[in-house]
């Protein structure tokens, strides 16, 4: 990945995900999982994110277990989620791991996942 290319990087750098572009919008969800992680998500289609094939992550699945939440095995940052159904295009990347400058002007979309008991995926 070229220097300065859009990316999300965990604290230690072991899981650095390339992005087609920085998002225009980030989502804050108030469900118990998103609140616990203190996360803001940016959503992408499969072709717009390059997650390193050798990324060493641990995963957590919850509720309907439709997606796996990945965190860096070294520094523990939640980095992204991936759908278990390989036909699903949508995936989420932790926007808090993107450089603050390029996403400073993003719209913030608030999602009431708490009332549904699950995160917005």
Q: Which residues in this chain contact Zn ion in the complex, by CB under 5 A? A: 10, 12, 14, 72, 74-75
Nearer to Zn ion, 66 or 96 (CB): 96
CB 70 within 8 A of CB 58: yes
What's the min distance (Å) between Cβ of 94 and Zn ion? Answer: 11
Measure the CA–CA gap between 7 and 120, rounded to whole angstroms: 22
Asked whether the CA dihedral 116, 42, 20, 51 is positive or negative, the reply is negative
What's the min distance (Å) between Cβ of 97 and Zn ion? Answer: 9
What's the min distance (Å) between Cβ of 55 and Zn ion? Answer: 9
Measure the CA–CA gap between 98 and 95, rounded to whole angstroms: 5
Nearer to Zn ion, 8 or 31 (CB): 8
Q: Phi and psi dihedrals of 115, rounded to 5?
A: -75, -20
Nearer to Zn ion, 16 or 31 (CB): 16
Reduced to 3 states (helix: H, G, I; strand: E, B; else coil), residue 55 is coil
Token pair listed for 52: 């390193």
Nearer to Zn ion, 12 or 21 (CB): 12
What's the min distance (Å) between Cβ of 10 and Zn ion? Answer: 3
């Amino acid at each position: 990945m070229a220097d300065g290319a859009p990316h999300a990087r965990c604290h230690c750098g072991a899981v650095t995900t390339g992005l087609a572009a920085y998002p225009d919008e980030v989502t804050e969800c108030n469900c118990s999982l998103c609140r616990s992680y203190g996360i803001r998500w940016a959503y992408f289609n499969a072709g717009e994110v390059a997650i390193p094939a050798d990324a060493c992550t641990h995963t957590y699945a919850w509720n309907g277990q439709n997606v796996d939440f990945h965190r860096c095995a070294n520094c523990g940052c939640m980095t992204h989620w991936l759908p278990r159904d390989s036909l699903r295009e949508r995936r989420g990347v932790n926007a808090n791991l993107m450089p603050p400058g390029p996403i400073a002007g993003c719209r913030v979309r608030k999602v009431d996942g708490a009332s549904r008991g699950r995160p917005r995926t």
